[in-house]
Amino acid sequence: AHRPTRFGRRQQHFDCRFAAHLSFAPERDGDEAGVTAYMSERFHYELALTQRGGRRKLIFRRRIGSLQAIEHEAPWPSDTAVLTIEADRDRYRFGCSTGEGETYWFGEGECALLSTEVAGGFTGVFFGLYATGNGAAASTPVHIEWADYEGRD
């Protein structure tokens, strides 16, 4: 089976920021690369660049238990993006920019839904980068120029 590739760093602060600069030009529907706030396979949020219906898109997805949905979707014509997760005690915010100018805040999720009390487990939340072909072999490489984690509390 084709599995996603993931690289992560444990969230160590309530108030923090994780960002990564990606270059990714998906060539087929299903190719996807992005950032995630990841508690487990069944509890995570994602902001990703992908191709859907032959068009490049920016998507925000939530997976909470058996519920999974793409909450927001928008065209993203560029091959590059800075994808950002900002956290405080209550929520995760997900944003995107071209690397110049303001971050466009695209989605958010409640921190409590990724907690050990709700999701189980004991490792805590990881912020990470991932790439997947969504069940097929991914055909597009992703290039990561940089990734950064900053604790603020």
CATH, residue 79 = 2.60.120.200
**Mean pLDDT calculated for residue range 101-113:** 93
**Residue range 46-84, pLDDT digits in tens:** 999 999 999 999 999 999 999 999 999 999 989 999 999
Q: What is the mean pLDDT of the chain?
A: 91
| Torsion of Cα atoms, 63 then 69 then 75 then 77, to 10° | 30
**Residue range 5-24, pLDDT digits in tens:** 667 888 999 999 999 999 99
Does residue 101 or residue 25 have the better pLDDT? 25
**What's the confidence (pLDDT) of residue 1?**
47
**What's the confidence (pLDDT) of residue 117?**
80
CA end-to-end span of the chain, whole Å?
41
Predicted confidence band of residue 139 (pLDDT cuts 50, 70, 90): confident
**What domain count does the chain have?**
1
Count other Cβ atoms within 10 Å, centred on residue 82.
19
- Give residue 82's domain range: 5-151
Nearest by Cα to 41 from 109, 121, 138, 141: 121
Is the separation of the CB atoms in 86 and 11 below 8 Å? no
Residue 102 exposed, middle or buried by CB count within 10 Å (0-12, 13-18, 19+): exposed
**What's the confidence (pLDDT) of residue 119?**
74
| Distance between CA atoms of residues 127 and 26, nearest Å | 22
| Distance between CA atoms of residues 19 and 78, nearest Å | 17
**Mean pLDDT calculated for residue range 129-148:** 89
Residue 98 predicted with pLDDT over 70: yes
**What's the confidence (pLDDT) of residue 91?**
97
The whole-model pTM stands at 0.91
- Residue whose structure tokens are 């089976």: 1
